[in-house]
Amino acid sequence: LKGVQGVVMLALRRSAVLGRFGRRLFSGKVVDIEVISDQACPWCFIGKKHLDTALSRRGWSASVHWRPYFLYHDVPPEGFSLLSFLAKEYGMDEDILKDPDLNPMLAAAKDAGINLNYDRMVVPTLRAHCLIHHAHQQGKGHAVVDRLFSVYMEDGKRIDDLEVLTQIANDCSVTGAGDVLESGALEETIRSEAKQAMSETKGVPHFTLRHSGTEVVLHGSTDASDWEEALGKLE
């Protein structure tokens, strides 16, 4: 009996030691990430999807801070058709823009698991940025950004609409959003932050990743391999 007890105690001690060692050995890294982005930017959504996938594959987590940027300037309150704008801007037929075999952005979105909807309106994103700022104060900015992108880019809903934004806040368990958005209390703060961000970069997305003194920057369109390479530099 004593011999059996001794074996059991030894096994328990070894298990405890291995457990502590294993937690140190296999615990995921936490990467600090700063993103300059706009909800109107498809490449920002695509980049975020690839980032989340690459982090998950490694078992890493991230502290992500999203900074505002305005991709479109002087968007009228009623907004405008994305398809009509792009067709005029690039001289392309609308049917071509909606064809994933002919439009590289649609193909890239599909590769990231996004069903990009071109039948949407371009709308002011000021209120959306206010919601992100408010959500960050509750530690839920990253979740709100993901929901905003999906609701706008895939579902085609207007993310300047107070009801839509309040529902997103509720979905992400963000409190007090309706009052903050309706009051416009954060709007000047967002305009100031966007002005600063737009002086730092001439386009979006702009991702800055930091870990243990190493900094990696990804700018513009990215694919899965870009994120694997970027995170590899932080290992």
Neighbours of 224 (CB within 10 A): 16
In the chain, pLDDT over 70 holds for what percent of residues?
88
Band (pLDDT 50/70/90 cuts) for residue 12 is very low
Does the pLDDT of residue 11 top 80, yes or no?
A: no
Tokens encoding 205: 């997305």
What does the pLDDT average to over 3-16? 41
Alpha helices in the chain (DSSP H): 2-26, 42-58, 82-90, 94-97, 104-111, 126-136, 141-149, 162-171, 177-183, 187-200, 224-232
Q: Which residues of 98-124 are buried (b: 16+ CB within 10 A; e: fewer)?
A: eeeeebebbebbeebebebebebbbbb
The C-alpha atoms of residue 117 and residue 126 are separated, in whole angstroms, by 21
- Which phi and psi angles does 54 have, rounded to 5°? -65, -40
DSSP 199-219: HH-SSS-EEEEEETTEEEEEE
What does the pLDDT average to over 128-153? 98
Burial level of 34, CB count in 10 A (0-12/13-18/19+)? Answer: middle
Does the pLDDT of residue 41 top 60, yes or no?
A: yes
What's the pLDDT score for residue 73? Answer: 86
Q: How many CA atoms lie within 13 A of 14 on its CB side?
A: 6
Band (pLDDT 50/70/90 cuts) for residue 29 is confident
Sign of the dihedral defined by the CA atoms of residues 67, 71, 73, 75, in that order: negative
Which pLDDT tens digit goes with each residue over 153-186? 999 999 999 999 999 999 999 999 999 999 999 9
The C-alpha atoms of residue 42 and residue 47 are separated, in whole angstroms, by 9
Let me know: does 63 contact 31? Beta carbons within 8 Å: yes
Which pLDDT tens digit goes with each residue over 173-227? 999 999 999 999 999 999 999 999 999 999 999 999 999 999 999 999 999 999 9
What's the pLDDT score for residue 7? Answer: 36
What's the pLDDT score for residue 27? Answer: 46
The C-alpha atoms of residue 124 and residue 80 are separated, in whole angstroms, by 10
Prior bond of 76 cis (ω within 30°): no
The C-alpha atoms of residue 76 and residue 20 are separated, in whole angstroms, by 58
- Which phi and psi angles does 152 have, rounded to 5°? -85, -55
Let me know: does 177 contact 194? Beta carbons within 8 Å: no
Neighbours of 196 (CB within 10 A): 13
